[in-house]
Amino acid sequence: MCKQLKSWIDEKGKAWEEVEETCDRCGGAGFHIGNGWEHYNGSACFKCDGKKYIRTNRRILTDKEKQYKETARLKRETKAKETEFADRMKRIERMNSDDKKSVGFVTDTIYIILDENSFDIKEELKLQGARWNNSFRSWIFLEGNENIEKYITKRVNYLEVADICLSYEGDTVERVSFEYATLCEYVENAKRELLGDTEYIGTIADKIEIKITLENVFSYDTQYGTMRISIFKDEKGNFLKWNSKTTLDLEIGEVAIIKGTIKAHEEYGTTKQKQTVLTRVKMIG
Ligand SMILES: [Zn+2]
């Protein structure tokens, strides 16, 4: 209930009105019960003195002022929403980061050590900067460790093993979480793949053309400069290795057709992975 009693223009030319409104303290009842002030002035409402209504003077806004007020209100509302949204995004990012770290992704990509004897050489691994990862139940290297190429490793980016979903409708930041079972399974698959029936390709001194996927690139320093080992995999899952000062213009996981000369057939590491060593490698498609 809101009733105008009178209106006037002040000396600055602004319009005012006096209105009578339902008391906002007692809701128009005129009294309070249970507020502890009953002993004072009976139980009459403190604000309206029991009259149920209150009188106030207020500005009569021009259309322009109303519009200005509304614009300001919307601006405040938008700002508040934006702040809330940004806070939520920050919170999700923090949760993602914590969850990534808790399963070992201190760097976005880690290298899981698949060597069968990693338990026996754990002291050595520790010295090389490897750390035990309880989620993968394996020793791992963080990206950037210079000893990665000394062991049989599986490169894994957190995106390959994470469960990713939008945490709220309309959010742009995705919630990244991990299932313990998925991580264990990942290692088992990697080991199975490693021990799988890999074969040597071709005969030594053969020139071959072959479709490959770039699996990994390692670098190491020698007295002649930095050398790089590229590991490829053919369509049957067989491994090829190329030792060179350069690398192909390929991203890890990218497919290409290469040509090269077979230099050697080598068993690698404790799992005796069969690797076909190439030389004079060029990308032809
Ligand atoms: Zn009242």
What pLDDT, on the 0 to 100 scale, is given for residue 282?
A: 95
Q: How many CA within 13 A on the CB side of residue 196? A: 13
DSSP states of 23-54 as a string?
-TTTTTSSB-SSSS-TTSSTTB-TTTTTSSEE
Ligand 1 centroid to 20 CA: how many Å?
A: 12
Residue 35 predicted with pLDDT over 80: no
Low-confidence winner among 64-68, 72-76, 198-202, 209-213 (lowest mean pLDDT): 198-202
- Tokens found for residue 141: 């290297």
Ligand 1 centroid to 59 CA: how many Å?
A: 23
Residue 216 predicted with pLDDT over 80: yes
pTM of the model: 0.52
Residue 127, number of CB atoms within 10 A of its CB: 10
Query: Residue 119 contacts by C-beta under 8 Å, 6 or more apart in sequence?
Result: none
In the chain, what percentage of residues exceed pLDDT 90?
Answer: 59
If you average pLDDT over residues 62-71, what whole number do you get? Answer: 94
Ligand 1 centroid to 44 CA: how many Å?
A: 8
Ligand 1 centroid to 48 CA: how many Å?
A: 4
In this structure, are strands 109-113 and 131-133 parallel, antiparallel, or unpaired?
Answer: unpaired
Query: Residue 263 contacts by C-beta under 8 Å, 6 or more apart in sequence?
Result: 204, 277, 278, 279
Per-residue pLDDT band at 150 (split at 50, 70, 90): confident
Question: Where along the chain do its domains lie?
Answer: 2-60, 91-195, 207-283
**Cα–Cα distance, 7 to 61 (Å, whole number):** 12
Ligand 1 centroid to 29 CA: how many Å?
A: 6
What pLDDT, on the 0 to 100 scale, is given for residue 34?
A: 62
Task: Assess if CATH 2.40.50.140 describes domain 207-283.
Answer: yes
If you average pLDDT over residues 256-278, what whole number do you get? Answer: 87
Residue 40 predicted with pLDDT over 60: no
What pLDDT, on the 0 to 100 scale, is given for residue 139?
A: 94
